[in-house]
Amino acid sequence: MKVALAQISPILQDIEKNFNLHLELIEKAKNNDADLIVFPELSLTGYTLKDLVPETAINPDNNDLFDKLKRMSRKISIVLGFVEEKERGIFFNSAAFFSKGEILHIHRKIFLPTYGMFEEAKFFAQGKNLSPFKTHFGKTGLLICYDFLNYGADYALFSQGVDIIIVLSAAPGRGMGDKQAFASSHMWELMGEAISRFSTVFLIYCNRVGFEDGKSFAGGSFVYSPEGKLISKASYVEEDLLIEELDPTLLKKARKKLFYKRDNKPEVIWRSLNKVVAKDED
């Protein structure tokens, strides 16, 4: 399995130019024999849309751009971010997985940050489901940015038997760390290492770069192995097309010596969470 991470800097609200950039990078990935290409969160629109959300929304069931992506996905699977109008006037921050000429799955962002510089819950409805789906790479789960930092979401995918977790992100850079990285990048990498190891999955994280509405985005897209080892990482500041071959036998190797999947007890967690919810409702 060869995966390409398209770490781009989308142009705010310019779907046409962003779509053409997607096509260009999809072709490059195909020419490098990639099986899958992953784009960042809201890659078709840019992130800080605010009241532009309705103007950039797409109905996946009736859209010429998505029809073209479906056709292209016969040769390479594609994951990208977009504004979805599921029903009239209801908008989601969504990610779509295209493969074999169809949309296999759409994930709608569940955890919408609305504090400080973030205003997502003002403009987007909240997703409700964490549902893995079958691909020819293995059982796969999608998350969008802040979903990934809520480890309950990762655990829900793990408990449903995923082999791959794909995270689309538009994470801003904060503070200065070492190696020309933002200090905030360490948080995402730490989460990538922990979730990949304790879930024994391939963890694919694609972030965006560039500046938008006075905000700087942190790049640093990465892939971790099912043993929690960094396989590859993109630039922190530049657009990048990171292409990496993933060895599926690493899943078996990791699960042979790390027994988290075998020993998982979701029913125990379920009973405990039921008590928490019941208490909150009192």
- CATH number, position 92: 3.60.110.10
Instruction: Give the predicted TM-score (pTM) of the model.
Output: 0.96
Q: Is 168 within 8 Å of 129 (Cβ atoms)?
A: no
Phi, psi of 173 (to 5 degrees): -95, 135
Residue 224 makes CB contacts below 8 A (sequence gap 6+) with 192, 193, 195, 196, 197, 202, 203, 230, 231
pLDDT value, residue 279: 83
**Domain total of the chain:** 1
Amino acid at 247: D
pLDDT value, residue 174: 74
pLDDT value, residue 178: 66
Phi, psi of 111 (to 5 degrees): -95, 105
Q: Is 135 within 8 Å of 73 (Cβ atoms)?
A: no
The boundaries of the domain holding residue 147 are 2-281
Distance from C-alpha of 136 to C-alpha of 148, rounded to nearest angstrom: 23
pLDDT value, residue 176: 67
Give per-10-residue mean pLDDT for the chain (282 aa): 98 97 98 98 97 96 96 98 94 98 98 93 97 97 98 98 98 74 89 98 98 93 98 95 97 96 95 90 68
- Pick from 136, 198, 197, 139: which is nearest to 166 by CA? 139
Q: Is 274 within 8 Å of 266 (Cβ atoms)?
A: no
pLDDT value, residue 177: 62
